[in-house]
């Protein structure tokens, strides 16, 4: 029997491309469980001992506290656990001098659900029957933005400017000649630092986007899942953004707590109230245990400190290793790593790649190494645009030996492919 699904059901039960790759990786591993697979695909952060110890200590404290029953054995406020709201208000007022109140904070079951609520409250068909779009101002960006739109047609994204910085480094910029924010725009959304590219959209670019959006009363959602104040995987100094049309969206997932699904949105209450009501109807409220341990870790100052002292340096070192290994082993072709400004991935561009990124994924898989093909991160852009299928996302969450093995495999495959391609070109020319 095939059950008749709604359009929403058809759309939402399709998993985005990256999830299809994850499925392929699981199947490959299951088919050859004893093979020495090296997995450079995951976005799952490494469990760092200092980080785990912090969360474990707070868990014990909650378990022993007299508030335990009030925390886990009661329904909570849909806006969030009050001590967590207080801790966030304090942090932003003391660290950044923002002067916000609890009304400017919304806790959600992960930042994905917060952006899901935003995408569908502010984008989609409005009361006048007009389709208002979710605009990604710089593609590539987080693949999950495609999955959160209930309306198939709602996503639009803008190809970037590409700046070559040196022989093997490039950086994306916003191409304002192609960015159009107008009455058909429902919301603007981008990750900063960016998953997958590690790019940090420049501050003047962000300011310009916000100003363009403000002219049409369009909310701008800055997804700071990798940004300050935690996990602060930004290696160029940046601050959170505020504005009367800006929501700053944080996550605890890369601060060692992905299992607990905690998102924190800070912004104007006129946006947060709408999102809160949506989420109240859909999921009632966020789980409270996670909120309680996060409230303690923020209020004590530990979370910001551990992010700065432990989490950031860990991934920065991994990237340095990868860059060094690539410089040593890649063939003499036009390869570029995106300038590493944040997040936990390296983003490799193989210019004039003779095959597609999906084919490249398979070639590298034959070497026992998993990476993520880049094209999934360019939803809503022209499929004929060559750069779209010349990139790979390589996770920095692996052990040094695995990164070493992975880079060697990528270099071998690249050497073979370009060699073959240039032979073919020679033969064709000859």
- Closest by Cα among 120, 126, 143 to 134: 120
Decide whether 132 or 405 has the Cβ nearer to its own copies: 132
Residue 113: CB minimum distance to its own copies, A: 4
Asked if 255 and 229 touch (Cβ cutoff 8 Å), the reply is no
Q: CA torsion, points 301, 100, 71, 294, in degrees to nearest 10?
A: -30
Quick check: 172 and 162 in contact, CB under 8 A? yes
Residues 149, 134: contact at Cβ < 8 Å?
A: yes
Q: CB of 122: closest distance to its own copies in angstroms?
A: 6
The tokens of 217 are what? Answer: 């009363």
Helix pair 82-96, 288-299: axis angle to 10 deg: 30
Which residue carries 């700065």 as its tokens?
308
Q: State the CB neighbour count (10 A cutoff) for residue 419.
A: 13
Pick between residue 270 and residue 420 the one whose CB is nearest to its own copies: 270
Nearer to its own copies, 125 or 211 (CB): 125
Candidates 296, 246, 284; CA nearest to 267 is 246
CA distance from start to end of the chain: 59
Q: CB of 167: closest distance to its own copies in angstroms?
A: 36
| Other C-beta atoms lying within 10 Å of the C-beta of residue 252 | 27
- Residue number with CB closer to its own copies (144 or 159): 144
Q: Locate all alpha helices (DSSP H) within 15-81, ordered by sequence.
A: 17-31, 49-64, 68-72
Asked if omega into 196 is within 30° of 0 (cis), the reply is yes
- Smallest gap, in angstroms, from Cβ of residue 421 to its own copies? 38
Smallest separation, CB 77 to its own copies (Å): 10
Min dist CB 142 to its own copies, Å, is 12
- Least separation in angstroms between CB 129 and its own copies: 9
Nearer to its own copies, 53 or 309 (CB): 53
> Closer CB to its own copies, residue 163 or residue 273?
273
Cβ distance to its own copies smaller for residue 147 or 312: 147
Burial tier of 80 (Cβ tally within 10 Å: 0-12, 13-18, 19+): buried
């Amino acid at each position: 029997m095939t059950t008749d699904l709604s359009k929403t059901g058809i759309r939402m039960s399709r998993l985005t491309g990256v999830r299809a790759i994850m499925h392929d990786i699981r199947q490959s591993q299951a088919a050859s469980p004893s093979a020495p697979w090296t997995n450079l695909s995951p976005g799952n952060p490494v469990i760092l001992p200092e980080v785990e110890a912090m969360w474990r200590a707070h868990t014990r404290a909650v378990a022993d506290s007299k508030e335990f029953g009030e925390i886990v054995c009661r329904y909570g406020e849909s806006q969030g656990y009050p001590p967590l709201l207080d801790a966030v208000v304090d942090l932003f007022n003391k660290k950044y001098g923002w002067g916000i109140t609890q009304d400017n904070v919304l806790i959600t079951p992960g930042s994905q659900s917060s952006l899901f609520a935003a995408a569908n409250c502010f984008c989609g068909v409005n009361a006048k029957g007009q389709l208002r779009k979710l605009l990604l101002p710089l593609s590539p960006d987080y693949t999950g933005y495609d999955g959160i739109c209930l309306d198939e047609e709602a996503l639009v994204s803008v190809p970037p400017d590409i700046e070559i910085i040196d022989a093997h480094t490039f950086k994306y910029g916003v191409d304002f000649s192609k960015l159009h924010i107008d009455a058909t725009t429902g919301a603007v959304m981008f990750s900063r630092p960016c998953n997958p590219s590690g790019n940090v959209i420049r501050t003047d670019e962000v300011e310009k986007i916000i100003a363009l959006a403000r002219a049409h009363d369009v909310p701008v959602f800055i997804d700071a899942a990798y940004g300050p104040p935690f996990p602060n995987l930004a290696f160029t100094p940046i601050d959170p953004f505020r504005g009367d049309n800006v929501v700053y969206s944080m996550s605890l997932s890369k601060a060692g707590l992905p299992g607990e699904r905690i998102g924190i949105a800070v912004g104007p209450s006129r946006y947060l109230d709408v999102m809160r009501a949506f989420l109240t109807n859909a999921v009632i409220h966020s789980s409270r245990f996670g909120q309680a341990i996060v409230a303690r870790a923020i209020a004590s100052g530990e979370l910001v400190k551990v992010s700065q002292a432990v989490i950031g340096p860990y991934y920065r070192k991994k990237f340095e290793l990868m860059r060094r290994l690539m410089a040593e082993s890649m063939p003499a072709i036009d390869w570029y790593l995106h300038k590493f400004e944040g997040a936990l991935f390296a983003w490799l561009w193989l210019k004039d790649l003779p095959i597609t990124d999906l084919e490249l994924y398979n070639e590298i898989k034959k070497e026992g190494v998993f990476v993520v093909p880049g094209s999934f991160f360019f939803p809503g852009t022209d499929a004929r645009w060559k750069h779209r299928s010349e990139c790979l996302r390589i996770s920095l969450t692996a052990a040094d030996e695995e990164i070493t093995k992975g880079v060697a495999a990528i270099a071998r495959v690249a050497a073979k492919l370009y060699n073959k391609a240039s032979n073919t070109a020679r033969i064709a020319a000859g």
